[in-house]
Structure 1
Amino acid sequence: MALSLEQLEAFMAAVETGSFSAAARKLGKAQSSVSGLISNLESDTGLPLFDRSTREPRLTRQGQALMEDIRSVLKSHNHLRYRVSNLTDKVELEIGIAYDNQLISDQQIKHLLRDFEQQFPSTSLVLFHAPQYSAYGFLDEHKVDIAIGLRHPDCAKRFGMTSVGQVQFAKVASTEHPLAAMVELNDQDLLEHRQLKFIDAQASGDNTRLGGDNAWYCNAPDTLLSMLRMGLGWADLPLPWVENELQSGRVVRLQSHHQAISFPHSLDLMWRREGEAGKCQQWLRSRLEAQLTPVYQQQRFQ
């Protein structure tokens, strides 16, 4: 028994449109051609698939039993065609992105995902949250193809990269913290109180070595913010991380002796240099740069 794709497509078109004539219009064929394909399918299977005793053909019990299998075969065939076409056009089968979800908003990611799905419907997408400096670690381990995060000293040597803007840091504390009541702080004032620090579990370097300075370390941004709200210490954090806390009045900027806002850090779009970037990666890099640059260049002057 040899069943052709044309037969299966004619069958499914008749099911979905409700008649042989409508199926013919959908497929761009003559009605006699569609009727012949379905008749041949019935002959090859030895099963009556449509009841033609009424004005419009209706599926028989046997036709209903085969319908989902036929739908599945056609779906798999279309998926195979997409895969072959993508490989020919150098569209990746899978691509991964690591990004700091405390710096890149959910709304920005939603817009990106919606457009990505329309552009590359058959490409698998892998997303990783990578706070602060940890994005480059995902690149290094070949878990992702693109990373967005704060610049690390090793990045420029090892990856292709472009800066999309600047991220300002600020010294902050709960409104109930003793430091919040002080008009101008010096370094000694800060040293006398516990600092809450983000620890980057993915990266290597000084920020992952715990010291004996009574600091508390945490690698979960939400937990660190909870500790900050509880008044358990002060922190030097990216402004986008604490924007909602500052607006709500639960957290305030500390007026330090040097400056309330620390020196800005570069927010980088990074990728591995080896190999040729496929169409999917090229599109993502171009789209991310266009989407993020206006936001973070504006923050530089705030």
Structure 2
Amino acid sequence: MMKRHNALTPDALAMMDAIARCGSFAAAARELGKVPSALTYSVRQLEDALDVLLFDRRSGQAKLTAAGEELLSEGRRLLAEMEAVAHRVRRVAGGWETQLTVAMDGIISRLTMFELCEAFFALRPTPGQDGPGTRLRLRTEVLAGTWEALVSGQADLAIGVDVDHAVPAGIELRTLGELDFVFAVAPHHALAGHDGPISDAELLKHRAVAVADSAQRLTPLTVNLLPGQDVFTVASLQAKIEAQLRCLGCGFVPEPLAREHIRAGRLVVKATQRKQTRARVGYAWRASAAPQPRKAPQGLALQWWLDQLQSPATRQALLERHAGMVTPVD
């Protein structure tokens, strides 16, 4: 008797699919270029190997049993997966990566990032293809965590890294732009009515809202916090802004992320005696190693993203377009 794992071949699954679609053994045999007796024999071999009845032979039609329905459903899924694997293998051979991971800092516009993802998935490398076949993974990091994701190999491209950070060996870095930070509080916060620039001594009396650095191995960064100051720590910039809207603390926030709230009066910008913060932001990727035979020196998926980042309009949008995107992403 044929073993079960030998019986479940792509040809056997395709045969089941043809019989179900055509409605009879005879019609399926014509589609597959076989005689009906050969198809019947193949089905009996499959049933014997699986020790189940796949078709109810009491009627003149090819009616599937419950076991047959299950095999057909799973078989179609497996055939689709095998076809998808074949497509991905061909695309990888042509230079498209199997997977590309992009780490983005919380200061980056998610609206623009998702638009770039849409454009990437809509690619048609050659006529008739469904896309590059590269699985895209997007992850959000904070401060040094964005660098760490890249350096540790967990990401292929990091967007929103600190340009003034020491660039590790084997990493390429380009400038994205500059980002202004403003000190903001809720209108009903005690500092909202403060006259003149706020001193550090006055800031020390009030709770600050800070975003936790997502780095696990690199030294976490601490920005604009005073020694001894009470701190409420949250996981993202969006959560930080939400906390400050609720008057749970105060602090510096990226002006583009807070712009809508400032214009609506939900946040009030106050001057401080300490110098206003301006961050220089960039994007980085790991330099290509020696090219493998029959593969592009630079993966085509990564190259596509780098090409998009060369556009001044795209770089500006990644830093500026935050309207309507205030719900945190895990």
| TM above 0.5 | yes
> Which residue matches 2:75?
70
8 A Cα contact 1:173 1:252, kept in partner: yes
> Which residue matches 2:213?
200
What value does the CA root-mean-square deviation take over the aligned residues? 4.0
8 A Cα contact 1:170 1:238, kept in partner: yes
Range with bigger deviation, 159-168 or 195-204: 195-204
Shift of 1:58: 3.9
Q: Does 1:293 align with 2:307?
A: no
Amino acid at match of 2:315: T
8 A Cα contact 2:151 2:168, kept in partner: no
Amino acid at match of 2:87: Y
Shift of 1:130: 0.8
- Taking the TM superposition and a 5 Å limit, the aligned residue runs for 1:192-231 are 193-194=205-206, 195-202=208-215, 203-204=218-219, 207=222, 212-216=227-231, 218-221=233-236, 222-231=238-247
Aligned match for 1:284, one of 305, 315, 319: 305
Superposed CA offset, 1:255-301 (max 9, x none): 34688xx35323322111252532222223334555732415778xx
Shift of 1:68: 3.2
8 A Cα contact 1:92 1:280, kept in partner: yes
Q: Does 1:108 align with 2:142?
A: no
Superposed CA offset, 1:188-239 (max 9, x none): 6754643444442415266279752425262523553344234454312212
Q: Does 1:267 align with 2:289?
A: no
Give the TM-score taking structure 2 as reference length. 0.68
Q: Does 1:12 align with 2:17?
A: yes
- Taking the TM superposition and a 5 Å limit, the aligned residue runs for 1:167-246 are 167-185=179-197, 187=199, 191=203, 193-194=205-206, 195-202=208-215, 203-204=218-219, 207=222, 212-216=227-231, 218-221=233-236, 222-246=238-262
> Which residue matches 2:150?
139
SS of the equivalent of 1:207 reads coil
Amino acid at match of 2:16: F
> Which residue matches 1:33?
33
Gaps of 5+ in 1: 25-29
> Which residue matches 2:327?
none
The alignment covers a number of residue pairs equal to 290
8 A Cα contact 1:103 1:240, kept in partner: no
Gap change, CA 1:227 and 1:94, over 3 Å in 2: same
8 A Cα contact 1:173 1:180, kept in partner: yes
SS of the equivalent of 2:213 reads coil
Shift of 1:32: 6.7
Gap change, CA 1:21 and 1:198, over 3 Å in 2: same
Gap change, CA 1:35 and 1:209, over 3 Å in 2: farther
Distance across 1 between alignment mates of 2:318 and 2:303: 21
Distance across 1 between alignment mates of 2:64 and 2:166: 62
Distance across 1 between alignment mates of 2:98 and 2:62: 41
SS of the equivalent of 2:33 reads helix
Shift of 1:139: 1.0
Shift of 1:171: 1.4
Range with bigger deviation, 109-118 or 203-212: 203-212
Give the TM-score taking structure 1 as reference length. 0.73
More helix by share: 1
Shift of 1:88: 1.8
Gap change, CA 1:53 and 1:167, over 3 Å in 2: same
